[in-house]
């Protein structure tokens, strides 16, 4: 332990400030987010909130004081391992926190912002437990406290004289305790191996909306990340996790106890067709290396975003602030707007002639790609695909190709199967794709959150990068920092997505409400492969068949701004070029899929959203109304103050899309009455 102590003390750390004999307080760089870490009776817990500025004096030179606004109440910490229970009988060995804020600046090609500067204070503490003394296993807990964000994780260290070098994590005591009067916007975890062809869980369940935190989940399995909570006038909290690699499993939240405590829940045994452990195996960090700065022996980061308003929730970058890139990109990857026949023309369209039509559509729109979906293996064949690839090259389009991930974990029948489930077949397939100029793959039907499946994700992404191929995941888990960790990662579904518009009129009826929820929850922590922007009024290849879309055309255009993903598979069809007004098609020709900046303007989850995104010097603004009545919008857009913009709207009747050139006033005021399921788009 002496060698370990020396290394820690040699860093720029100081002893932690003491609020009480056993509580350490850590503040964010701006001093307005607080974290209290408590060690009492051998157990470890934390609480957090923000500090509200108040004036206690009316004197001219009075300085504002602060009062604590607690958001997460006393919440447990700890990990259950095969060596010892690290949630009790903990003995504090040493710890500290950074003397000055730590600042990191990084670039993110496929996120909400292209250049991000993250600043935080760091606190760590090392603990031992009696059961692990012989093995020499120590637990380090690390917290990073940002303005409006907190992240924490554990690291397991082998003391220099220890005998244990590998550990099995069986579960965690880690929790998040809310006041029982808080409400939640959360999505239930499904049972394993249920649903279509036993493909669940796939993060495709329906949310509860503003319901009590103690609401029981549909299946009794808890809730998938991210999870949004509302604490009335105090504000909002978003809980998620990031940094999940092949070295750990993905997790979710349990149902809450009667006193508002959610805890980390590990995968269910039935996932992955029952194969693989529900826990994680990890190697320990060596006591001779600096703990917390070595990536060995670490768990994923658990993240907390909080604020008095929704602005910190929607704009958070904490998912990427605490993770590192795991390998260099083999080529310069770029965003892609893709045509996609399957979403409206379905399985029958996966044939050579129809794919030619959608390649031509992509070329007409000036888009980058065309997605050839499941069924190509049987209906087109490899020879036919090579002819399609050649046609794409001729038209200046880079193709994307769908694959079934399946190696043995569900019954999804679509081909191509057995091409992505292990490295040997994967590399053979990717060599073929690279030879023919394929830009990316969309891989479907994954198997849950076990470590076995996380190894599949990581191996697939790493192998694809060797061949310059981007990856979209479908029927899958939530991405957890993967945009930064894996530079060829593009996007994940992990949401009840646009395919349900084709299959369910009820989903069509709820589309506007869902679209006004996702920017606050699902899309806050990771790219979302939704596959939207449907401009046909009927969802079918034939004009008078299929479900009826309830949203307006301008609403659909607005989702191209509201939903963030660097690879967008849009639902436009050849008919749209002649049936929709030219200004709608002109917008879709230029709307980008990568963003340099994102600003939340106004909104409420499931009701409405006003969001602005910048690409280069060009701002795009959407104001979506998800309700069944008119929504009055009166907001300021300072980034567009005094500028002339193209203003798209649906008219007073909500049925007559129109475009006009408007010069905004010196405040950049957007004032409008938006009919139900309609929108305003400015660009």
Decide if 183 is inside a domain: yes
pLDDT at 479 over 70: yes
Quick one: pLDDT band at residue 133, thresholds 50, 70, 90?
Answer: confident
Average pLDDT over residues 202-228: 97
Among the candidates 321, 345, 377, a domain finishes at 321
Q: Which residues have C-beta within 8 Å of that of residue 136, sequence separation ≥ 6? A: 158, 159, 160, 161, 162, 163, 164, 287
Quick one: pLDDT band at residue 8, thresholds 50, 70, 90?
Answer: very low
Higher local confidence (pLDDT), 342 or 286: 342
pLDDT at site 313 = 98
The percent of residues in the chain predicted with pLDDT above 90, rounded, is 91
Decide if 357 is inside a domain: no
For 3-12, 102-111, 128-137, which range has the lowest pLDDT when averaged over its residues? 3-12
Counting the structural domains of the chain, the total is 2
Quick one: pLDDT band at residue 290, thresholds 50, 70, 90?
Answer: low
pLDDT at 9 over 50: no
Q: Which residues have C-beta within 8 Å of that of residue 10, sequence separation ≥ 6? A: none
Average pLDDT over residues 244-273: 98
pLDDT at site 1 = 34
pLDDT digits (tens, 9 = 90+) for 424-459: 999 999 999 999 999 999 999 999 999 999 999 999
pLDDT at site 386 = 98
pLDDT at site 594 = 97
Quick one: pLDDT band at residue 194, thresholds 50, 70, 90?
Answer: very high
Average pLDDT over residues 293-298: 81
Where are any strands of DSSP class E within 55-197? 65-76, 79-81, 91-98, 102-107, 115-128, 137-146, 149-158, 166-172, 175-177, 183-188
pLDDT digits (tens, 9 = 90+) for 485-503: 999 999 999 999 999 999 9
pLDDT at 651 over 90: no
Decide if 118 is inside a domain: yes
pLDDT at site 286 = 85
Quick one: pLDDT band at residue 293, thresholds 50, 70, 90?
Answer: low
pLDDT digits (tens, 9 = 90+) for 51-87: 998 877 777 777 788 999 999 999 999 999 999 999 9
Cα torsion through 327, 332, 338, 341, rounded to 10: -60
pLDDT at 11 over 50: no
Decide if 260 is inside a domain: yes
Q: What residue numbers bound the domain in which 560 lies? A: 498-528+539-565+575-683
pLDDT at site 15 = 37
Among the candidates 277, 300, 321, a domain finishes at 321
pLDDT at 240 over 90: yes
Decide if 459 is inside a domain: no
Please, are residues 56 and 65 in contact by the beta-carbon 8 Å criterion?
Answer: yes
- Within 367-450, residue ranges assigned H as helices are 376-379, 381-395, 423-435
Average pLDDT over residues 108-130: 96
pLDDT digits (tens, 9 = 90+) for 497-551: 999 999 999 999 999 999 999 999 999 999 999 999 999 999 999 999 999 999 9
pLDDT at 656 over 80: yes
Domain CATH number, residue 51 = 2.70.98.10
Decide if 376 is inside a domain: no
pLDDT at site 54 = 86
Please, are residues 243 and 301 in contact by the beta-carbon 8 Å criterion?
Answer: yes
pLDDT at 305 over 70: yes
Q: Which residues have C-beta within 8 Å of that of residue 256, sequence separation ≥ 6? A: 178, 213, 214, 215, 262
Alpha-carbon distance 523 to 622, whole Å?
15
pLDDT digits (tens, 9 = 90+) for 141-155: 999 999 999 999 999
Among the candidates 295, 321, 347, a domain finishes at 321
pLDDT digits (tens, 9 = 90+) for 451-477: 999 999 999 999 999 999 999 999 999
Average pLDDT over residues 156-167: 90
SS percent in the chain: helix, strand, coil, step 5:
20, 35, 45
pLDDT at site 288 = 64
Q: Which residues have C-beta within 8 Å of that of residue 465, sequence separation ≥ 6? A: 327, 329, 330, 486, 487, 488
């Amino acid at each position: 332990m002496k060698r370990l102590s020396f290394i820690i003390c040699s860093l720029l750390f100081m002893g932690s400030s003491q609020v009480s004999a056993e509580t350490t307080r850590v503040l964010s760089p701006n001093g307005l987010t607080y974290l209290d870490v408590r060690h009492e009776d051998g157990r470890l817990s934390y609480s957090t909130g923000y500090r509200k500025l108040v004036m206690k004096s009316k004197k001219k030179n009075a300085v504002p004081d602060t009062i604590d606004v607690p958001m997460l109440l006393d919440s447990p910490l700890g990990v259950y391992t095969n060596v010892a229970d690290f949630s009790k009988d903990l003995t504090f060995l040493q710890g500290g926190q950074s003397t000055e804020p730590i600042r990191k600046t990084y670039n993110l090609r496929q996120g909400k912002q292209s250049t991000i500067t993250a600043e935080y204070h760091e606190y760590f503490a090392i603990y031992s437990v009696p059961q692990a003394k012989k093995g020499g296993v120590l637990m380090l807990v690390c917290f990073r406290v940002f303005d409006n964000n907190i992240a924490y994780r554990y690291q397991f260290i082998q003391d220099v004289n220890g005998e244990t070098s590998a550990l099995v994590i069986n579960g965690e005591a880690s929790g998040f305790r809310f006041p029982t009067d808080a409400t939640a916007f959360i999505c239930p975890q499904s049972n394993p191996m249920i649903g279509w062809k036993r493909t669940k869980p796939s993060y495709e369940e329906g949310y509860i909306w503003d319901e009590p935190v103690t609401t029981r989940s549909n299946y009794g399995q808890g809730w998938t990340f991210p999870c949004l909570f509302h604490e009335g006038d105090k504000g909002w909290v978003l809980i998620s996790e990031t940094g999940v690699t092949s070295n750990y499993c993905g997790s979710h939240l349990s149902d809450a106890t009667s006193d508002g405590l959610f805890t980390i829940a590990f995968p269910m045994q039935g996932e992955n067709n029952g194969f693989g452990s529900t826990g994680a195996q990890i190697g320990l960090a060596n006591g001779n290396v600096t703990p917390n700065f070595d990536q060995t022996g670490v768990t994923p980061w658990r993240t907390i975003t909080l604020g008095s308003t929704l602005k910190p929730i929607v704009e958070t970058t904490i998912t990427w602030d605490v993770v590192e890139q795991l390998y260099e990109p083999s080529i310069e990857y770029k965003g892609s707007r893709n045509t996609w026949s399957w979403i409206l023309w379905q399985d029958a369209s996966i044939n050579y002639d129809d794919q030619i039509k959608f390649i031509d559509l992509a070329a007409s729109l000036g888009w980058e790609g065309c997605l050839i979906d499941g069924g190509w293996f049987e209906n087109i064949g490899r020879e036919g695909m090579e002819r399609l690839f050649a046609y794409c090259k001729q038209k200046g389009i880079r193709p994307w190709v769908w694959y079934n991930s399946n190696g043995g974990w569900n019954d999804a029948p679509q081909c191509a199967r057995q091409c992505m489930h292990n490295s040997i077949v994967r590399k053979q397939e990717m060599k073929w794709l690279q030879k023919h100029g394929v830009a990316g793959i969309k891989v479907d039907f994954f198997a849950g959150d076990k470590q076995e499946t996380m190894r599949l994700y990581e191996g697939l992404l790493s192998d694809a990068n060797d061949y310059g191929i981007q990856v979209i995941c479908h029927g899958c888990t939530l991405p957890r920092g993967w945009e930064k960790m894996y530079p060829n990662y593009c996007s994940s579904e992990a949401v009840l997505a646009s395919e349900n518009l084709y299959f369910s009129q009820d989903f069509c009826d709820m589309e506007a409400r869902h679209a006004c929820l996702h920017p606050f929850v699902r899309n806050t922590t990771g790219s979302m492969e939704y596959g939207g922007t449907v401009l046909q009024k009927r969802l079918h290849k034939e004009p008078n068949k299929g479900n009826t879309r309830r949203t307006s055309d301008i609403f659909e255009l607005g989702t191209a701004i509201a939903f963030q993903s660097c690879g967008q598979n849009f639902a436009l069809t050849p008919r749209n070029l002649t049936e929709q007004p030219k200004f709608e098609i002109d917008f879709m020709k230029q709307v980008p899929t990568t963003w340099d900046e994102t600003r939340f303007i106004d909104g409420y989850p499931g009701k409405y959203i006003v969001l602005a995104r910048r690409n280069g010097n060009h701002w795009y603004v959407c104001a979506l109304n998800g309700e069944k009545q008119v929504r009055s919008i009166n907001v300021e857009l300072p980034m567009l103050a005094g500028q002339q913009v193209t203003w798209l709207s649906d008219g007073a009747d909500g049925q007559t899309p129109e475009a006009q050139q408007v010069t905004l006033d010196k405040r950049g005021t957007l004032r409008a009455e938006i009919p139900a399921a309609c929108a305003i788009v400015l660009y």
